Amino acid sequence: MSIHIWLRAESKPAEKRSPLTPGDAGILVKAGLRVTVESSNQRVFPASEYAPHGCEVADCQSWFHADSDVIVLGLKELPYSDEPLVHRHIYFAHVYKGQSGWGQILNRYVLGRGLLYDLEYLTDENHRRVAAFGYWAGYSGAALALMAWVGQKLNNNPVLLPVESFRNRDELLAKVNASIGTARRVPRVLVIGAQGKSGGGAVQLCRSAGADVTEWDLKETKMGGPFAEILEFDIMVNCVLVQSKIPPFITSTLLDRTGRRLGMICDVSCDPYGDQNPLPIYETCTSFANPVIRLPHTPDPLDLIAIDHLPSLLPRESSEDFSRQLLPHLLQLDKMESGVWQQARNMFEMKCEKINES
Which residues contact residue 1 at a Cβ distance below 8 angstroms, ignoring those fewer than 6 apart?
69
Residues 23, 56 within the same domain: yes
Residues 52, 148 within the same domain: no
Residues 205, 262 within the same domain: yes
Q: What is the span of the domain harbouring residue 202?
A: 134-313
The pLDDT of residue 292 is: 98
HEC string for the chain: CCCEEEECCCCCCCCCCCCCCHHHHHHHHHCCCEEEEECCCCCCCCHHHCHHHCCEEECCCCHHHCCCCCEEECCCCCCCCCCCCCCEEEECCCCCCCCCCHHHHHHHHHHHCCEEEEHHHCECCCCCECCCCHHHHHHHHHHHHHHHHHHHHCCCCCCCCCCCCCCCHHHHHHHHHHHHCCCCCCCEEEEECCCCHHHHHHHHHHHHCCCEEEEECHHHHCCCCCCHHHHHCCEEEECCCCCCCCCCCCCHHHHCCCCCCCCEEEECCCCCCCCCCCCCCCCCCECCCCCCEECCCCCCCCEEECECCHHHHCHHHHHHHHHHHHHHHHCCHHHCCCHHHHHHHHHHHHHHHCCCCC
Q: Is position 126 within any domain?
A: no
pLDDT digits (tens, 9 = 90+) for 43-59: 999 999 999 999 999 99
Q: With beta carbons less than 8 A apart as the criterion, state whether 279 and 248 touch.
A: yes
CATH at 88: 3.40.50.720
Q: Is position 129 within any domain?
A: no
- Given the residues 12, 87, 89, 94, select the one marked as catalytic: 94
Interatomic CA distance for residues 70 and 66, integer angstroms = 7
Residues 139, 278 within the same domain: yes
Q: With beta carbons less than 8 A apart as the criterion, state whether 39 and 58 touch.
A: yes
Interatomic CA distance for residues 80 and 97, integer angstroms = 19
Residues 309, 319 within the same domain: no
The pLDDT of residue 261 is: 97
Could you tell me the mean pLDDT of each successive run of 10 residues in the chain, 358 residues long?
Answer: 93 94 98 98 96 98 97 95 96 88 94 97 91 96 98 97 96 97 94 97 98 97 95 98 87 95 96 84 95 95 96 97 98 95 96 80
Q: With beta carbons less than 8 A apart as the criterion, state whether 254 and 223 touch.
A: no
Please indicate whether residue 309 is annotated as part of the active site.
Answer: no
Task: Count the domains in the chain.
Answer: 2
The pLDDT of residue 1 is: 56
Interatomic CA distance for residues 58 and 8, integer angstroms = 9
Residues 167, 227 within the same domain: yes
Q: Is position 98 within any domain?
A: yes
Residues 146, 26 within the same domain: no
The pLDDT of residue 358 is: 59
The pLDDT of residue 284 is: 92
Residues 247, 109 within the same domain: no
Q: Is position 211 within any domain?
A: yes
Q: Is position 358 within any domain?
A: no
Residues 289, 193 within the same domain: yes
Residues 114, 232 within the same domain: no
Residues 102, 245 within the same domain: no
Interatomic CA distance for residues 87 and 318, integer angstroms = 27
Residues 58, 147 within the same domain: no
Q: Is position 16 within any domain?
A: yes
Q: Is position 163 within any domain?
A: yes
Q: With beta carbons less than 8 A apart as the criterion, state whether 18 and 43 touch.
A: yes
Look up residue 248 and give its amino acid. Answer: P
| pTM of the predicted model over 0.75 | yes
Please indicate whether residue 76 is annotated as part of the active site.
Answer: yes
Q: Is position 127 within any domain?
A: no
Interatomic CA distance for residues 151 and 1, integer angstroms = 56
Q: With beta carbons less than 8 A apart as the criterion, state whether 237 and 268 touch.
A: yes
Interatomic CA distance for residues 177 and 232, integer angstroms = 23
Q: With beta carbons less than 8 A apart as the criterion, state whether 276 and 242 touch.
A: yes
**Burial (CB count within 10 angstroms: exposed 0-12, middle 13-18, buried 19+), residue 54:** middle
Q: For residue 71, list its beta bridge partners.
A: 5, 88
